[in-house]
Amino acid sequence: MDLDYGKCWSTSKKDSWKSVLLLAYQSLGVVYGDLSISPLYVYKSTFAEDIHHSETNEEIFGVLSFVFWTLTLVPLFKYVFVVLRADDNGEGGTFALYSLICRHAKVSLLPNRQVADEALSTYKLEHPPERKNNSRVKLLLEKHKSLHTALLILVLLGTCMVIGDGLLTPAISVFSAVSGLELSMSKEHHQYAVIPITCFILVCLFALQHYGTHRVGFFFAPVVLTWLICISALGVYNIFHWNPHVYEALSPYYMFKFLKKTRKSGWMSLGGILLCITGSEAMFADLGHFSYAAIQIAFTFLVYPALILAYMGQAAYLSKHHPTSYQIGFYVSVPETVRWPVLIVAILASVVGSQAIISGTFSIINQSQSLGCFPRVKVVHTSDKVHGQIYIPDINWMLMILCIAVTIGFRDTKHMGNASGLAVMAVMLVTTCLTSLVIILCWHKPPFVALCFLLFFGSIELLYFSASLIKFREGAWLPILLALFLVTIMFVWHYATIKKYEYDLHNKVSLEWLLALGPSLGISRVPGIGLVFTDLTSGIPANFSRFVTNLPAFHRVLVFVCVKSVPVPFVPQAERYLVGRVGPAAHRSYRCIVRYGYRDVHQDVNSFESELVDRLADFIRYDWHWTHGIINSCNEDDDSRSGGSSGEYRLAVIGTVAFSRTPAFEIDESVQPASVSAGFPTVERAADVIEMEPVGVVERRVRFAIDVSESDAQSEIDVQLREELEDLYTAQKAGTAFILGHSHVRAKQGSSFLRRLAINFGYNFLRRNCRGPDVALKVPPASLLEVGMVYVV
């Protein structure tokens, strides 16, 4: 499935104001659904128990002042003006920040890294290597391996809190919207109506996820726009009708008066006030679907003013009415004549806001899985045209069950708000810490600037986080428990994955062993293509040697396939395949490294198989011409044409345009970026990598001259080339076998109790109960050959 990942934020669209405004309008439904429905529950959560609305109005004006300055400092100043600029090739979110940091400092724990990956066009650095700023922070991070692990755990913690938010936001949003029924029926009937209606809406919401956002997304933006206009109009009406002087409460002085009067109770009530910024992280997380300018315009000129007017309007109404804490809420300030239409719009807006966070949860779990930090789950791509729209059935039904359990278990906005608030602030704290590192490592600003950013915004978020944490027994325990559970799962999976890779690395066999296999040893070659999947980027994996030992035969065409993730959001199709030979041409063995970014769409097996054969054919043509001196590039030296030091031959980046030799004239190829020559070391060995790019964006032109003076030698080369291509296509017709390892992992003797618990029980339980690699790759059962492997790590 080849998606156009770049069309949402192309330069031409950014330059067109009409397109920017259209994107800003579309972003309302995807980005701001969660943030825009916060007026439904902020005041109700704030006045739930800690403080009371008195006749002096000091409490309500103080809360309004806190809401105003919180919305101004965090979403507007922090996210719109700073964090949104820390994008990774137009992508945002926790993994985008981690990816940026890993590219500018050697802190990544991903296995099978190659310096060749740095040649990717999306692996761009702001400064070339010789101008990198080797700050003390960077040197400190790279020196201590424990800091690499701590950074990964911080990222995983933020990821888990996003998943927790995906569980809590639908519950509190829909529950708060439906709770408007309390003003239209008695309390006895209300408590029996709201919970079932909320659960019914949640079941419908999760049941419709498999259709994908694109099928119903067209009405998301109109719903949120209608809701923003609605709360703005209600705000303006309440301000002028009840208290036109409510604007005075925007002064920070009222925050001081509020805290002076309420003291500890006021501090604890901040756990409700912070709900006004739930959904702010979505501005950054969904940056890849829109543009920086579109999100900035939509928030600054529409969402932000609408929210401020809504909160001011509610405060103006409450300043003239002093109901009990139970009666404080959004709907009491809505005139009775329009209450039912507002209720319907609110329910629709809460569904849209919930949809946005559920989609974001699917996306971040898919990114975690791509980077080897989450057990394999089935990922369904719901749209061939819109990049990144996915559905994960297993996660969807788990979220639905937990969401309904939270609704039935908590039964009120207070406990849901405490749980949701802690999850939101934890994500924001993680984003603040990672952005501080980006300021130093990627933007090359002085550490003092990053420290100021960290202290200013971190202190605000820590204040709110502490107010949420103190309510541990009143709902805040849920996201903490969920985060600990998920972090444990993700870290155990990642740790075991790294240990398996190290085992494979230490137990790989030499190329000489493969070349020695032949009829003299009773080994035969059978028709067809054998795809041996491995995490190694060089050498012969141990699972293949075990396969040949038990079944003394292997396929006529043998391809060692490594599907790996690189710390970029996406890899262009033209740079995805890195192909080379394993042994001489007559052996018909190849190595293919398939590179994906953490937001890339993995191909299904049918398109992957056919495209892999096409790339192999392109490489064969290219390699014969290169090896026999037919192509002479002015940009390559003799060293780049030599084989690798370990006996494996060079790897080439094979693009989407097939290479073919046309005698007696010159071929003019466009190369972008410039060709990379010789000596790309991996973590295992040194291999030569040469790029072959398709016709595309022209940066420089390289001229290849074809020498056909030796006609006899050329004829012989043509015969050998045709024979190798015929063998490849004949093998393809005979069928393809997928050879995968079926692993069982156990801790080595003498390991600590925690290690044995994590490996022998934790990882193996997850492995048995998650999708196998064959399911993840969508391998047909008839074409699957599994090789049992025991890993002692």
Confidence tier at 373 by pLDDT (50, 70, 90)? confident
- Type of residue numbered 136: R
**pLDDT value at 104 more than 60:** yes
Which residue type does 76 have? Answer: L
Both tokens of 468, joined, read: 């949420």
**Running DSSP on this structure, what letter comes out for residue 553?**
E
CATH architecture observed for domain 27-126+133-495: Up-down Bundle (1.20)
**Rounded to 10 degrees, what is the CA torsion of 430, 436, 442, 443?**
140
Report the range of poorest mean pLDDT among 81-85, 164-168, 342-346, 514-518.
514-518
Q: State both tokens at 353.
A: 């806001």
pLDDT at 327: 67
Q: How far apart are CA 153 and CA 134, in angstroms?
A: 24
H-assigned helices in 336-446: 339-370, 393-410, 413-441
Peptide bond into 673 cis (omega under 30): yes
pLDDT for res 50: 65
Residue 662 confidence (pLDDT) above 60: no
Question: Higher pLDDT residue, 52 or 464?
Answer: 464
Q: Show Cβ contacts of residue 208 under 8 Å, excluding neighbours closer than 6 positions.
A: 216
Can you tell me the mean pLDDT for 196-210? 89
pLDDT of residue 14: 42
Give the model's pLDDT for residue 57. 82
Give 723-751 pLDDT, tens digit per residue. 989 999 999 999 899 988 888 889 988 88
Residue 230 pLDDT: 95
Q: What is the per-residue pLDDT for 485?
A: 94
In which element (H, E) is residue 739 found?
strand 736-746
DSSP string, 221-263: HHHHHHHHHHHHHHHHHHHHHH-GGGGGGGSTHHHHHHHHHHT
pLDDT at 179: 84
Mean pLDDT of 533-552: 87
Is the pLDDT reported for residue 377 higher than 60? Answer: yes
Q: Contact, 787 vs 742, CB < 8 A?
A: yes
Angstrom distance (rounded) from CA 95 to CA 504: 27
d(CA 5, CA 588): 35
Tens digit of each residue's pLDDT (9 = 90 or more) over 128-146: 444 445 678 888 888 888 8
Confidence at residue 411, expressed as pLDDT on a 0 to 100 scale:
84
Arithmetic mean of pLDDT, 105-114? 76
- CA of residue 312 relative to chain centroid, distance: 36
Longest dimension (CA), the chain: 103
- In this prediction, what percent of the chain has a pLDDT beyond 90? 30
Give the model's pLDDT for residue 652. 80
Upstream peptide bond of 375 is cis (omega within 30 degrees of 0) = no
Tell me the percentage of the chain whose pLDDT exceeds 70: 81
What tens digit of pLDDT does each residue of 293-318 get? 888 899 999 999 999 999 999 999 99
Beta carbons within 10 angstroms of residue 741's beta carbon: 22
Handedness of CA 172, 175, 180, 185 (dihedral sign): negative
Question: Sign of the CA dihedral 119, 121, 124, 130?
Answer: positive
Give the pLDDT confidence score for residue 187 in this predicted structure: 61
Dist. CA 757–CA 767, nearest whole Å: 14
Q: 562 and 535 in contact (C-beta within 8 Å)?
A: yes
Specify the pLDDT at position 199.
Answer: 93
Are 230 and 345 a contacting pair, CB within 8 Å?
A: yes
Decide: 9 and 280 in contact? Cβ < 8 Å.
no
Q: DSSP 3-state assignment of 564?
A: strand
Residue 770: exposure state from Cβ atoms within 10 A (0-12, 13-18, ≥19): middle
Cα–Cα distance between 516 and 692 in angstroms, integer?
A: 32
| Nearest CA among 680, 510, 533, 504 for reference residue 592 | 533
Distance CA 151, CA 215 (A): 38
Q: Provide the pLDDT confidence category of residue 522 given band limits of 50, 70 and 90.
A: confident
Q: 607 — phi, psi (to 5°)?
A: -70, -35
Q: Write down the pLDDT at residue 479.
A: 93
Model pLDDT, residue 387: 61
For tokens 């702001």, the residue is 126
Domain ranges of the chain: 27-126+133-495, 509-629+716-792
- DSSP-assigned letters across all residues of 678-727: S-EEBSS-EE-EEEE--S-S-SEEEEEEEP---HHHHHHHHHHHHHHHHH
- Alpha carbons within 13 angstroms on the beta-carbon side of residue 440 total 24
Q: What is the mean pLDDT of residues 180-190?
A: 67
pLDDT of amino acid 186: 61
- List the beta bridge partners of residue 691: 653
- pLDDT class of 634 with cuts at 50, 70, 90: very low
Give the pLDDT of residue 78.
94
In which region does residue 184 sit, left (phi positive, over 0), alpha (psi from -120 to 50) or beta (all else)?
alpha
How large is the average pLDDT for residues 247-273? 89
Q: What are phi and psi of 268, to 5 degrees?
A: -65, -30
> What residue type is assigned to position 395 of the chain?
I
Question: Which tokens hold the place of 158?
Answer: 């933020």
User: What tokens were used for 76?
Assistant: 């507007």
What pLDDT shows up at residue 189? 62
Q: pLDDT band for position 651 (50/70/90)?
A: confident
Structure tokens at 33: 């659904």
Residue 194's pLDDT band (boundaries 50, 70, 90)? confident
**Band of pLDDT at residue 184, cut at 50, 70 and 90:** low
Strands lying side by side in the sheet with 651-654: 689-692, 651-654, 577-581, 589-596, 553-565, 524-533, 736-746, 784-792
pLDDT top residue among 336 and 16: 336
Coil, strand, or helix at residue 45?
A: helix
What tokens were used for 556?
A: 């006529």
Q: At 577, which helix (H) or strand (E)? A: strand 577-581
Q: What is the mean pLDDT of the chain?
A: 80
DSSP-assigned letter for residue 329: S
Name the residue with tokens 């997850």.
766
Mean pLDDT of 767-789: 80
Q: Return the minimum-mean-pLDDT range out of 77-86, 199-208, 226-235, 695-704.
A: 695-704
Q: Is the CB of residue 693 less than 8 Å from the CB of residue 676? A: no
Per-residue DSSP letter, 41 = T
Residue 40 has pLDDT above 50, yes or no: yes
**Do 117 and 651 meet the contact criterion of CB atoms below 8 Å apart?**
no
In the DSSP assignment, the letter for residue 664 is T
Whether 12 shows a pLDDT value over 50: the answer reads no
**Per mean pLDDT, which range of 106-115, 185-194, 405-414 is the poorest?**
185-194
- Using CB atoms within 10 Å of the CB of residue 146, give its burial: 0 to 12 exposed, 13 to 18 middle, 19+ buried: exposed
Query: For 667-717, what is each residue's pLDDT tens digit?
Result: 233 333 333 323 333 333 333 343 333 333 334 334 444 454 556 666 777
User: Looking at 89-103, 387-401, 637-651, which range is the least confident one?
Assistant: 637-651
**DSSP letter assigned to residue 598:** T
Question: What does the pLDDT read at residue 484?
Answer: 93
